[in-house]
Structure 1
Amino acid sequence: MAGDVYPMRTFQNFPRLAQIALHWGLILLLLGVSVGSICALFLWLLDQVTQLRFLHPSLLFGLPVAGIGVALLYQRYGGRAAAGNNLIIDEIHKPGGGVPFCMAPLVLFGTVVSHLFGASVGREGTAVQIGGSFAAAIGRMFRLNDRAMRLLLMAGIAAGFGAVFGTPVAGAIFGLEVLTLGRLDYAALLPAAVASIVADWTCHAWGIHHAAYHVGFRGVPAADGTMFHVDALLLVKVSFAAVCFGLASRAFASGVHRLAGIFQKFCPQAWLRPALGGILTILLVGLLGTRDYLGLGVASPDVDGASIMNFFGQGYYPWSWFWKLVFTLVALASGFKGGEVTPLFFIGAGLGNALSPVLGVPADLLAGVGFVAVFAGAANTPLACTFMAVELFGATDVVYYAAGCFIAYLASGHSGIYQAQRIGTPKTSLALERSGTVLRDLRK
């Protein structure tokens, strides 16, 4: 008889459980459709302004003025929204003043302007902030408590990430993994997955298509003539490259914060710093004689130019990863709005392309590993990045992608592009950092 108690309780609670499921289903559907639609608009605008910049290269000379305009807009109307992704993460860890809805239109406008005039920034930060601000607004509308608001903000992050990259599973994992190093809150897994999948479907329904990256490598011949997906020597080479990817992640994350401090020291006026970054960008373009390192870098106006797409091909680009890192550090540290992830894709794929002939690894495979591994190390999200590789490149080479992401995560140390992240479990037993420490406090 005692064994019948639990089924009976479940049956008695079914109306309440159904009510909760319908309530959350409505909330997540509203969140996913809203975020997916705004991300679709955002991606369409990015494509339009990128093509416009390709057609009118002289727009670059307006970058300093554009940077000042966006900075003044944030200074006048931004308030707490200026903290960006870190504000959303802080609100999840410890609810405070909330995430203002003005964050979404401000970051969307600021990022589009940055890309129109050629700043080397990405798009993930914009999508995450759109997701977080819509989640907060919907949570207030439904009068959710702090615990429910926390789950919804995580779902908002997942929705923005999944929609902007077309990787809904990676988006769901990212929404959980980005908060705390080494720990996942599985209570938010289903809400994050629903929001991310709905947002991705919605973005696709608006006619938005994502870049397709082709990795032709499909294993090595075994003794019996069949193809096997893992080769021991190749895995060792990829693992060595992964250490390089992790060090590049660390250089990027540390470089942004250190260079931002230098800009603040020499230019206390926040609204003026983007002008300095714009001038430096123009000088770098003049020095190198190429515009390949402006904007997202997914494609280049030059057929053989340095771009993420070309890193998977037959061309060789030994130093493109380094110059993209420099351009992006200047743009982000000086205050231009956008994200870090697509430039990290460029840096990773470019570094993989550069290392491929040195290590004797197929360029497309190592570009793919670098694509996700540098991001994994910089964002401290190795699981999400492994799933991203599967969604973007296919599952055949997943062992190499996983090895790249996991090793880069360890090699990057306790650094990261999101300073509000907390250490849940230190990366190694030798680490001196304690659980619960916020990354920004380590810098102090």
Structure 2
Amino acid sequence: MAQETEKQAPSTRPAAPARALLPSILPAAAVGVLASLTFVGVSSAAEQLQRVLWGPLPKALGVGPYSVLWMFVMLVATGAAVGLVVWKVPGHAGPDPATTGLNAPVLPLYVLPGLVLAAGLMLAGGPSLGPENPIIAVNVGLVAWLGTRFLPRRPGALWPVLAEAATIGALFGTPVAAALVISEALAGKPMPGLLWDNLFAPLTAGAFGAITTTLVAHPTFDLGLPPLGHPNGRDVLAALVIAPVAALLGMCAVRAFPYVHAAFQRLRHPMLMLPAGGVVLGALAAVGGHLTLFKGLSEVGVLAANPDGWSAGQFATMTVVKLAALLVAASCGFRGGRIFPAVFIGTALGLCAHALVPAVHPSLGVATGVLGILLAITRQGWVSLFTAAVLVASPAIIALLCIASLPAWLLVTGRPQMQLRADGTSIR
């Protein structure tokens, strides 16, 4: 009987004493500040270049900044510029971006300048990708080099985790996103001690990354949409329809990803692949308009500021064009992430649902559309829920998002992801 009781007793993990956690605060805080300043610096430089390329320059040439001609010229020129960096700069701007995700490998230091340059040119030039993947990779490589050089007694595996958490905190302006991503990454892995002990240093890095970005750049994800009141049965039904539809739409791009990537790879040279991608992106911009350019965060604000300003057909066109632009940009070699353009896609889809059925609250449409598309594109459940929730800043919507995530997750789990192996096959 005593043996049975001993077998049934739950196993416990000893908590780490405070003296074991205190030494991690200063390194984690330093990593958070460094990661944030890297992100803000690259983003600010890209924004300044974007203002020149899409403002004074075309006006000086007598061309409309968002005319079809200028959009086409800029996207092809951006492809050529990034292709030149990938071809000639040492390190070739890192590995094929189609094979990388948020969990970046530790790149050698000499690769990082080319990756920063390629990402900055992409952000300024208009392709539909965000800064998250290259900025995380740059910070991981830089922090790993600095950490092993100046604090060699610390475990080498600690630095990439701190850099990733710090950058995610900086990107989203809150450490909650970093904690959710890290906890999801730790799930299923053997860990010494309690979960919060293992999250202590990454959460510190994420908090300092977030507060540094907040103090320096004042970011916000709240779209200012009207708040959702007390949910009713129609809201539940709308959430259960929009999120799975968005997930299915995202899975169309995921399924096509290896084939589009293989088509560009047949060109074999970055000075062919990237300009060719620019040509396709220019054609898509001619159809979807200038709001389908760039990473999409500012453009999402434009849509949300006037949710009734476009017809359902126009919202649908922007949704499909932006999804195709994301697929092409991620396939042809542009260095960038997929979260920010996916937010635009989900927002446009949600507002399309609102335009089709006015009873669908715009906040609900946007949040569930973003949730579904992010689940398909990123396969990160916590990030998808968190991003969808902070966009509308309405506490009443959280329960609806949790319910809507269930059928959407069933549609995407176990299926190919939007990330490829080295041989070009999809990761599952």
State the TM bucket, normalised to the shorter chain. Answer: 0.7 to 0.9
1:78 equivalenced with 2:91 (yes/no): yes
Counterpart of 2:81 in structure 1 is: 69
- SS at 2:316 equivalent: coil
Counterpart of 1:225 in structure 2 is: none
1:366–1:151 Cα change, 3 Å: farther
1:322–1:213 Cα change, 3 Å: same
1:184–1:125 Cα change, 3 Å: farther
Structure-1 separation of matches of 2:112 and 2:222: 27
Pick one of 296, 310, 322 that aligns with 2:303: 310
The runs of 5 or more residues in structure 2 that have no matched partner are: 1-13, 59-64
**1:277 Cα offset (Å):** 0.7
- SS at 2:156 equivalent: helix
Counterpart of 1:169 in structure 2 is: 176
- SS at 2:201 equivalent: helix
**1:120 Cα offset (Å):** 1.7
- SS at 1:246 equivalent: helix
1:123–1:442 Cα change, 3 Å: closer
Counterpart of 2:152 in structure 1 is: 143
Work out whether residues 43 and 120 of structure 2, in 8 Å CA contact, stay in contact via their aligned partners in 1.
Answer: no
Structure-2 separation of matches of 1:184 and 1:354: 44
Structure-2 separation of matches of 1:86 and 1:344: 17
1:238 equivalenced with 2:210 (yes/no): no
Counterpart of 1:226 in structure 2 is: none
Structure-2 separation of matches of 1:310 and 1:376: 22
Pick one of 81, 85, 103 that aligns with 1:89: 103
Superposed, 1:173-252 pairs within 5 Å as 173-177=180-184, 179=185, 186=195, 188-220=198-230, 230-252=231-253
1:270–1:350 Cα change, 3 Å: same
Superposed, 1:210-359 pairs within 5 Å as 210-220=220-230, 230-265=231-266, 267-286=267-286, 288=287, 290-300=289-299, 307-311=300-304, 313-315=307-309, 316=311, 317-359=315-357
1:86 counterpart letter in structure 2: T
Backbone CA RMSD of aligned residues: 3.2
Work out whether residues 43 and 208 of structure 1, in 8 Å CA contact, stay in contact via their aligned partners in 2.
Answer: no
Counterpart of 1:427 in structure 2 is: none
**1:419 Cα offset (Å):** 4.3
Structure-1 separation of matches of 2:28 and 2:281: 41
TM (norm. structure 2) is 0.80
**1:276 Cα offset (Å):** 0.4
TM (norm. structure 1) is 0.77
1:202–1:104 Cα change, 3 Å: farther
Structure-2 separation of matches of 1:119 and 1:252: 16
1:368 equivalenced with 2:367 (yes/no): yes
1:285–1:440 Cα change, 3 Å: closer
The runs of 5 or more residues in structure 1 that have no matched partner are: 1-9, 92-97, 221-229, 301-306, 421-437
Task: Give a deviation string over 1:272-326, Cα, whole Å, max 9, x none.
Answer: 200101122223334x2722211123335xxxxxx45414622342321101011
**1:327 Cα offset (Å):** 1.6
**1:35 Cα offset (Å):** 0.2
Task: Give a deviation string over 1:153-206, Cα, whole Å, max 9, x none.
Answer: 2232221122122232012212342x4888797464222211111101111222
**1:116 Cα offset (Å):** 2.3
1:243–1:135 Cα change, 3 Å: same
**1:107 Cα offset (Å):** 2.8
1:26 equivalenced with 2:26 (yes/no): yes
Structure-2 separation of matches of 1:439 and 1:197: 38
**1:260 Cα offset (Å):** 0.7
Work out whether residues 101 and 137 of structure 1, in 8 Å CA contact, stay in contact via their aligned partners in 2.
Answer: yes
1:108 counterpart letter in structure 2: V
Counterpart of 1:400 in structure 2 is: 400
- SS at 1:82 equivalent: coil
1:245–1:283 Cα change, 3 Å: closer
1:289–1:408 Cα change, 3 Å: closer
Superposed, 1:9-158 pairs within 5 Å as 18=19, 20-55=20-55, 56=58, 57=65, 58=70, 60-75=72-87, 76-78=89-91, 81-83=94-96, 86=100, 89=103, 91=105, 98-141=106-149, 142-143=151-152, 148-158=155-165
Task: Give a deviation string over 1:132-152, Cα, whole Å, max 9, x none.
Answer: 22332233222256xx33343
Structure-2 separation of matches of 1:107 and 1:196: 23
Task: Give a deviation string over 1:220-279, Cα, whole Å, max 9, x none.
Answer: 3xxxxxxxxx323321221121111211222233333321111112x1223320010112
